Chains A and B, each alone.
Chain A
């Protein structure tokens, strides 16, 4: 090759100039904290808007570790260190895949895979929380339903305690678990907040309270003779039509010739 250096043509030079200018990019500010959190070197948190106002959401190597409402970032950081024994750093926003999945979980029917750090909870609590994640948006289940579904029908009170210690309220929807008498009941962020979240999700807390006051815990479909929990997806549609009856107990429904819906499983065969 003896031709030596050949100056690029004007067109080629324009391409090269264009290319060189493309390299001048900075990683987003959430990048470094995102990586450090994922490898377990430093947990991070951000402020997330929700139907009940802003909350702090923290995450680390094992996934989302905490959701909490506190008066200030300083309070949250102090609480986090006391609870988990490690510091947490605020970031403007979470890294991309996590941001999307949290938005989805909080605001739509689409339910992307989310990693939640449940390393600090007991096996019983984990079973309760995992079962709670199965309750669809817009629906509720009583504490007793959770207890039965995880094979511990006698542990209704313990289910309440486990949900009360839910490390990630809203993301694990403990607000969708209501009292056995059908009333909306208590919540980590207060019962008014629980009503507000349910309302935002399309489960009418007024209707639930109304049914509870009347002692109605099950609704039966007069056409296909199944009975359901009041918020079971199929029941919403039927409530608009005059084709349902009300029951106080599963026994009452069964003796009237109704069988339990196999979607909401209002009572397991005993």
Chain B
């Protein structure tokens, strides 16, 4: 088990009582829900869409939808909720709806010839040390490549390898059998590797 996976599981212990708390008093505990999951949900939307603007909007919409749903749910249902996959599902729906509306833009991104990506990090994102390091290592392209993968591979790859979810949870979020998820992740990684080899040979795409 990698260090990354352990961190995620510890993190979940601190949220173990959240469904019960939300069922008891939604308004008192909703802020904690956002604090616990905002980075992960935002990161997921960012990697899925490749756009900080879209990601912020979709991720915010996801939490607003979650709040409204929790308002409407009976307390038994809230107590039984697996919050994390549930939130990811809401966010994924938002991403998919957005992608349907903006298909043209995604195609343009793929066909950009002079090596400039349309995806620019936000100013404050650009300043952060982890982003600077990424640029230095040349992994910025990875974000572009992921955002242009076909949808079924992209969702599976982002959940499994960027968010670090186990296959069972990925399958739950996507509503697909574990076998399908595994083969989509495998195929997606393969496509990324081929794409990276291509760009390495051409030496073109620069962040």
Residues of chain A at the chain B interface (Cβ within 8 Å): 11-12, 14-28, 31-32, 34-36, 38-39, 41-42, 95-97
Cβ contact within 8 Å between B31 and A32? yes
Q: How far is the CA of A41 from the CA of B161 in the complex (A)?
A: 34
- Not counting A22-B142, A25-B42, a sample of 5 additional A-B residue pairs whose C-beta atoms are within 8 angstroms of each other reads A12-B193, A22-B146, A23-B43, A27-B38, A39-B64
Contact sample, A vs B, 27 pairs, CB 8 Å cutoff: A11-B196, A19-B146, A19-B157, A19-B162, A20-B4, A22-B43, A22-B47, A22-B142, A23-B43, A23-B164, A25-B43, A26-B42, A27-B38, A31-B56, A31-B60, A32-B34, A34-B60, A35-B60, A36-B30, A39-B64, A39-B68, A41-B31, A95-B57, A95-B60, A96-B53, A96-B60, A97-B57
Cβ contact within 8 Å between B35 and A32? yes
Distance (whole angstroms) from the CB of A211 to the closest CB of chain B: 44
Question: 8 Å CB contacts to A: which residues of B56-77?
Answer: 56-57, 59-60, 63-64, 67-68
The residue on A at minimum CB distance from B141 is: A18
Cβ contact within 8 Å between A35 and B39? no
Cβ contact within 8 Å between A18 and B139? yes
Cβ contact within 8 Å between B162 and A15? no
Partner of A25, one of B39, B57, B137: B39
CB 8 Å contact bits of B10-42 with A (1 = contact, 0 = none): 000000000000000001001100110011011
Q: How far is the CA of A84 from the CA of B68 in the complex (A)?
A: 23
Distance (whole angstroms) from the CB of B163 to the closest CB of chain A: 6
Q: How far is the CA of A79 from the CA of B197 in the complex (A)?
A: 60
Give the interface centre of A18, A24, A31, A36 by most chain B CB atoms within 10 Å.
A18
**Chain A residues, CB < 8 A from B119:** none
The residue on A at minimum CB distance from B163 is: A23
**Chain A residues, CB < 8 A from B139:** 17-18, 21-22
**Chain A residues, CB < 8 A from B68:** 39
Q: How far is the CA of A26 from the CA of B139 in the complex (A)?
A: 18
The residue on B at minimum CB distance from A24 is: B130
Q: How far is the CA of A172 from the CA of B56 in the complex (A)?
A: 27
**Chain A residues, CB < 8 A from B143:** 22
